[in-house]
């Protein structure tokens, strides 16, 4: 063993790194616990296929706004197979959703109409207080 026989009782200039390493390890553990492991993505509802193959009639509480194409004229609008003028669409939807807790509406447009008419129907639905608006597409059969 070597011994230093220095001249006096002066102070040492060496840094003791053991407490600093302990502090860094504790901080590392704290940050690992705070940061979530799984990233949070967008909440999306994916439609599920029906469990049975029976075609049951649609629910009476389901509201479907249809936009039908007319050659050379403005499209016509329907709410659940009832003809409605475009100017009456907002008051009718407001009346329908006035006392409903579940505010869901579907918009179904013909293939030949411009999307702007579908977007207008969506805007009218939002103005009527609808929370969730879905777009309906034509049914695609297997093998086509």
* pLDDT, tens digit (0-9, with 9 covering 90-100), for 18-61: 888 999 999 999 888 887 666 666 666 666 776 765 555 555 67
Chain mean pLDDT for the chain: 80
pLDDT at site 38: 61
Q: How far apart are CA 63 and CA 33, in angstroms?
A: 47
pLDDT at site 22: 92
Least confident among 11-20, 116-125, 129-138: 11-20
Least confident among 43-57, 62-76, 77-91: 43-57
pLDDT at site 23: 92
pLDDT band at 91 (very low <50, low <70, confident <90, very high): very high
Token duo for residue 49: 């296929």
- Greater model confidence, 80 or 12: 80
What residue ranges define each of the domains in the chain, with the CATH number in brackets?
A: 63-136 (3.30.420.270)
pLDDT at site 11: 74
**Residues ≥6 apart with Cβ < 8 Å to 77:** 65, 66, 67, 68, 83, 84, 85, 86, 89, 121
Tell whether pTM > 0.85.
Answer: no
């Amino acid at each position: 063993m070597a011994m230093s026989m220095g001249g006096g009782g002066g102070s040492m200039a060496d840094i003791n790194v053991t407490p600093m390493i302990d502090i860094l390890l504790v901080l590392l553990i704290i940050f690992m616990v705070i940061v979530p492991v799984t990233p949070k993505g967008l909440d999306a509802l994916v439609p599920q296929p029906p469990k049975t193959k029976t075609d049951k009639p649609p629910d009476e509480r389901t509201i479907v706004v249809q936009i039908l194409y007319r050659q050379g004229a403005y499209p016509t609008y329907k709410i659940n197979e009832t003809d409605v003028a475009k100017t009456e669409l907002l008051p009718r939807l407001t009346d329908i959703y006035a006392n409903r807790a579940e505010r869901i509406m579907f918009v179904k447009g013909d293939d030949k109409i411009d999307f702007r008419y579908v977007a207008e129907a969506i805007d009218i639905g939002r103005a009527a207080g609808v929370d969730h608006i879905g777009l309906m597409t034509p049914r695609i059969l297997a093998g086509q």
